[in-house]
Structure 1
């Protein structure tokens, strides 16, 4: 009887399996031939509205529908907003190819269009084909056009006003946060779509356990560009004086391995050093520790102008990146960077120092040269599995900087500053995820040697600093229902050439996740001690955060925190030391205790169909410190002297962003704005001198591509600031306006580009400076070749003046800028 029963069950299963078949297929765009993602595929019986089964197409447009019932009257129905629905007969076991035609229609006064911008859960997708134009060379040019996305002059990418924390190509982080190397060099037409991922948790073992507010961007490539080498070489020569530029890159990007090798060099004022900067800042402190302490810094070359106008340079930048996907969860990344940069600048200034009952005025002119040689190699191994996460990042770095300045004016001097830095660092993070709990171990080791030197008229001062910094911690996490509890205990050690220190910390962290609500609360307890300096403090730093997501479009949040921080180990330096030829610092071995309260209220709105994004944030902070600086001005020399006296500061800010795309007109408009006030105090002639700074900034931007042959962009930065110092000094409000207009027209086969900049700067109450700059270029493309002729600073302006306020100072400066220049170049793409 049992044998008969077994045979009957086996026969039943076999008959059932033989009856179960599947229908497979692919869905593509009828016009472009590209796969269609997230289309709904249904199988119905003729005459019956209820589907037998359904699914969604994957990223490759493919689907597979198993059938328990087979018949001759089956229909396949495929639909997606923005496309005409398709229905056709199908038989079980067949493979079909469905081509969808685009369709524009109106639903409840909302116009739906296919593919340009669409969102699903926490991911926003942008179809690059709907934004790209023939003038877009690199993917950065396209990113600037995306509604809700902003790219600043340094290349930092933000979404809805928040900087991104990760940058991927095909799901892989090739550059370790130096994403300018990709956005500047990856050709625009190689990218199929741009994905913006909100609430991004990159560690799989912590997904659905710890929520984040991080933003990530992922680029998806077209099939014919994936896993092939994309190579570009360029060279150019120019005059006034002899100018040169060169570039070469080779990129290979796939889902299993990626490479990027880049060289750039020039002496025409283009700053390529940004490509070696880590721009994803969110995890830097955790993985690299606090900022490196330093006594000295090199002179800056800043001014409210484009860098290309004021930078006299001779620069070479080399970068090599390689990432291997060892298996489904493990990858190995290698990064190497080298930079040689020699910069020159001539400038002059008149600086007013406002003190109690007196104003000191100093004038100067300087000729400064700074040479930088910087190298870094890094190796990262990562295993990102759901049950186990491991990352180990090891790096070696060397930075050799030397600056020479020749100064005349109120104080004449010859100055040389050397700030070399040699370092090694290793960061290890290990996470084990179990059913009921998760364990995490972190370890950071960092060593730096900084033998700084400053020489003024032959008088040399050595400011050597060596530091070994360690941070080790253990975390226990458990999630039960909607509540996540995490407890972290750790120890840090600071072994250095001034004062050794250590700290112990314990941080309980709680997260409550409801359907629309997310609440976070943590209460770090930190005990910090420097035994040799008789410094010991116990700090409690509570943090509270609440987030409410009304729906897909609206989100609101509020945070409040209190934090106690201290200075760095250079504050223990007992002697006076010079920071440059004019400034001296006297810390008096005082380690300051700084306490801050901060609050912020934030609101966000997004509508992907209308291509409208907006944010608004209101923030307030109050600070207390037991140290105050006194500014002493005597005989054209300035001393900052530290005193153990309590003082306070406060401030508020109102900031926000608007971004709106207009599909029919090829138009993107955006506005960033910031209003605020800062108040603080410092000592002057032994008396407290309060000061207040009010500021306002607006940045409207417009990018317009109405037709294939024409494009225009406009960007303005409007700054208004004023300072009040003490009760008697109310400085004149300064209005600074920068306007940039770019026009591009294609008169086949030549593309003409015109850029016009206007700068308005208030210099004093009765005087303002207006400066106009214009650049013109002609570009001719034929096959894989591109030839360009450029003329910059057509009006041949040679000098620029501006005035700025800073705390209890105001300074009016002039700076030499690059003259009229001409350049011809040729580019070839393999």
Structure 2
């Protein structure tokens, strides 16, 4: 399926015959030749000797860490079986060495639902931007994943995927938050210790028939997770926060596609999903206790059918259906008495939707045009003081793709939309999101509108080793409500005002590379730019703000035979914040990184590398840090490998950086993993 992390982090390279990256991949045979596809897929072809046999390998490692001080351990077992009718991958992993196992369980190809539930409680977590995550991830993690595929005698496939993930993560850091206000800046100092626990179980079961004339897939998914977070904070406001936010969901997706002749398609899709998201936040402060209890649950159903046919290079299709969303929200703010706060609310926000989405696809020689005209009619049903209402939405989009040459393409996209309100923000209550932040919703229905234009360019010349992709986008947005931020004492109040708000955003991306045959390597350049303009009502004063970020990262790599491999990279990041008539503020970060791998003989491999960070803390003041790693591996045979590694050789223990928020600046110093020594042994059957 789409959990590439399981395969790419587990299958031994000795068992892989070829790696295929398929662009414009159309996994459904029934759609081939009828519908454009911009999907990409990875296909791994096994060597013949690795088929129809039970493959198993594993790693066991142990060592010592200086921060947090104690023993290190890491272990994993990977098993695989590939036959003509049956495929299986089962893996077990555990570590406290900073490896985040949950990333390996991401499903890159799963269908996303149109509706979901968002949590309201949002405690600050310690993140370290621009730093490799394993340098600051103080964890104890376990993961079990088992995937099975069985082909039936009639051409169908049964798939079962069961995953379990357990994480215990600690973090420590200090921060200084400055809020820029017309009346004078407000500063909050915090020194935080946090402990997070997460348990998650996911089960995914599907049956699929994929033929040239007929496609059927039914997928049942169940997700259960328990998330607990405790934060002890000292500084401006001493307190302890305890948050619990379990999540339960069950969904079923059925898709049937039937092809008639060579140019007609009929599709039926049914999605049903139930989600429950209870949350509880308890704050202990100066001998008193207060907090927030929130209960949310929803049921979403979407039933749709579509018909399409091809006529003289034109694909016409019409998708239509009905959907329903039924959501309950109960909030209870307790332990705080304030006449300006609404402490309790029971609310239902439901809707029924009728929709139709005509689609026009036309191709002629080097040109492909795609026109979408989705139409939605919503009937909303609210409890409390909100009146029921009916809203109509039209959101056309047009894309033109020019295949200038077989190696070069240019795509232009434009869209205009009017979007329905986010039901998450429609409520009267004042919700405590962390120990000093309150979020009030909107007591009226609202919608937003916007337009966007984008242009992308692709060029590929595999023979000369030149690859180029660049894209730019600009968007305009308008909402019926604007945002409000007020700071009263140590508390921050976020709310909305019934006044139209306009914003603009722009982004650009560049990725170019060129292979260099003379040194058996490549040179590349990546660049990013984002810009956002908006306004907010701060302390009763309309405040315009503009944020920009730049990133530029050239790199080069090469190797000398199989003896020496090396990589060098430089990254420059800049963040800029401009608030009304105030002077602009900016922060520059520089990262120099590289590594070298030396293999003097097949028995020995030595790797060394690291990064040098130069982060701007304030004007004229920088924080510099050098981190080095090294690893020595003995390749005793194809089935046995022993290695010894030292990470953070210089024992750097803190990472300091500066970032910007809406009208704020954050200066933070987070705890890192100290010097670590690890010995591991790899065994393969």
| TM-score, normalising length: structure 1 | 0.76
**Correspondences of 1:394-413 after superposition (within 5 Å):** 394-413=220-239
Displacement of 1:269 after TM fit? 1.3
Displacement of 1:385 after TM fit? 0.7
**1:442 equivalent in alignment to 2:269:** yes
**Correspondences of 1:722-741 after superposition (within 5 Å):** 722-731=576-585, 733-741=586-594
**CA separation of 1:695/1:467 partners in 2, compared to 1, >3 Å: closer, same or farther?**
same
Larger RCO, structure (CA 8 Å, separation 6 or more) = 2
Contact kept? 1:293, 1:568, Cα under 8 Å = no
Q: Could you tell me how far apart the structure 2 residues matched to 1:822 and 1:592 are?
A: 57
Match of 2:319 among 464, 476, 488: 488
**Per-residue CA distance 1:412-462 (angstroms, 9 max, x = gap):** 111011110111110000111102521111111000111111111132321
Contact kept? 2:167, 2:197, Cα under 8 Å = yes
**1:744 equivalent in alignment to 2:597:** yes
Displacement of 1:272 after TM fit? 1.5
**1:256 equivalent in alignment to 2:106:** no
Match of 1:608 among 462, 465, 474: 462
**Per-residue CA distance 1:715-759 (angstroms, 9 max, x = gap):** 33321121101112411x211122221111123322111121111
**Correspondences of 1:96-135 after superposition (within 5 Å):** none
Secondary structure of 1:648's match? strand
Q: Could you tell me how far apart the structure 1 residues matched to 2:616 and 2:479 are?
A: 34
Q: Could you tell me how far apart the structure 2 residues matched to 1:388 and 1:756 are?
A: 53
Displacement of 1:671 after TM fit? 1.8
Contact kept? 1:323, 1:332, Cα under 8 Å = yes
Secondary structure of 1:300's match? coil
**Per-residue CA distance 1:610-658 (angstroms, 9 max, x = gap):** 1211012221111111121111112221110122210111122221211
Contact kept? 1:710, 1:744, Cα under 8 Å = yes
Displacement of 1:585 after TM fit? 0.3
Contact kept? 2:126, 2:173, Cα under 8 Å = no
**CA separation of 1:335/1:775 partners in 2, compared to 1, >3 Å: closer, same or farther?**
same
Q: Could you tell me how far apart the structure 1 residues matched to 2:433 and 2:445 are?
A: 19
**CA separation of 1:727/1:535 partners in 2, compared to 1, >3 Å: closer, same or farther?**
farther
**CA separation of 1:581/1:482 partners in 2, compared to 1, >3 Å: closer, same or farther?**
same
**Per-residue CA distance 1:564-584 (angstroms, 9 max, x = gap):** 223433222321011111211
**CA separation of 1:517/1:254 partners in 2, compared to 1, >3 Å: closer, same or farther?**
farther
Q: Could you tell me how far apart the structure 1 residues matched to 2:172 and 2:402 are?
A: 53
Contact kept? 1:267, 1:315, Cα under 8 Å = yes
- How many corresponding residue pairs? 650
Secondary structure of 1:205's match? helix
Secondary structure of 2:277's match? strand
Q: Could you tell me how far apart the structure 2 residues matched to 1:474 and 1:771 are?
A: 58
**CA separation of 1:823/1:573 partners in 2, compared to 1, >3 Å: closer, same or farther?**
same
Secondary structure of 2:405's match? coil
Contact kept? 1:196, 1:217, Cα under 8 Å = yes
Match of 1:453 in 2: 280
Q: Could you tell me how far apart the structure 2 residues matched to 1:495 and 1:290 are?
A: 10
**CA separation of 1:268/1:198 partners in 2, compared to 1, >3 Å: closer, same or farther?**
closer
Match of 2:540 in 1: 686
Q: Could you tell me how far apart the structure 1 residues matched to 2:264 and 2:494 are?
A: 52
Q: Could you tell me how far apart the structure 2 residues matched to 1:347 and 1:564 are?
A: 42
Match of 2:111 in 1: 284
Secondary structure of 1:763's match? strand
**1:529 equivalent in alignment to 2:379:** yes
Match of 2:363 in 1: 513
Q: Could you tell me how far apart the structure 1 residues matched to 2:423 and 2:242 are?
A: 24
Match of 1:56 in 2: none
Match of 2:104 in 1: 275
Provide structure 2 residue ranges, at least 5 long, that are not aligned to the other structure: 329-347
Match of 2:640 among 785, 808, 815: 785
Match of 2:332 in 1: none
**Correspondences of 1:647-726 after superposition (within 5 Å):** 647-726=501-580
Structure with greater proportional strand content: 2
Larger-gyration structure (1/2): 1
**CA separation of 1:675/1:786 partners in 2, compared to 1, >3 Å: closer, same or farther?**
same
Match of 1:70 in 2: none
Match of 2:338 in 1: none
Q: Could you tell me how far apart the structure 2 residues matched to 1:597 and 1:255 are?
A: 50
Match of 2:58 among 210, 233, 251: 233
Displacement of 1:327 after TM fit? 4.5
Match of 2:76 in 1: 247
**1:568 equivalent in alignment to 2:399:** no
Displacement of 1:313 after TM fit? 0.6
Q: Could you tell me how far apart the structure 1 residues matched to 2:56 and 2:126 are?
A: 33
Displacement of 1:535 after TM fit? 4.0
Secondary structure of 2:49's match? coil
Displacement of 1:298 after TM fit? 5.3
**1:182 equivalent in alignment to 2:36:** no
Displacement of 1:328 after TM fit? 7.2
Match of 1:204 among 29, 50, 53: 29
Provide structure 1 residue ranges, at least 5 long, that are not aligned to the other structure: 1-175
Q: Could you tell me how far apart the structure 2 residues matched to 1:421 and 1:298 are?
A: 17
Match of 2:435 in 1: 581
Match of 1:822 in 2: 677
Q: Could you tell me how far apart the structure 2 residues matched to 1:294 and 1:535 are?
A: 26
**Per-residue CA distance 1:588-610 (angstroms, 9 max, x = gap):** 33444221211111111111111
**Correspondences of 1:305-454 after superposition (within 5 Å):** 305-327=131-153, 329-435=155-261, 436-454=263-281
**Per-residue CA distance 1:70-114 (angstroms, 9 max, x = gap):** xxxxxxxxxxxxxxxxxxxxxxxxxxxxxxxxxxxxxxxxxxxxx
Contact kept? 1:740, 1:755, Cα under 8 Å = yes
Q: Could you tell me how far apart the structure 2 residues matched to 1:829 and 1:298 are?
A: 43
**The 10-residue stretch of structure 1 (290-299 or 549-558) with the greater mean CA deviation from structure 2:** 290-299
Match of 2:300 among 454, 469, 482: 469
Q: Could you tell me how far apart the structure 2 residues matched to 1:555 and 1:326 are?
A: 41
**1:215 equivalent in alignment to 2:40:** yes
Q: Could you tell me how far apart the structure 1 residues matched to 2:6 and 2:354 are?
A: 39
**The 10-residue stretch of structure 1 (757-766 or 198-207) with the greater mean CA deviation from structure 2:** 198-207
**Per-residue CA distance 1:377-434 (angstroms, 9 max, x = gap):** 1101111111111011001110100000111111111101111011111000011110
Displacement of 1:253 after TM fit? 3.2
Secondary structure of 2:425's match? helix
**1:635 equivalent in alignment to 2:489:** yes
| TM-score, normalising length: structure 2 | 0.92
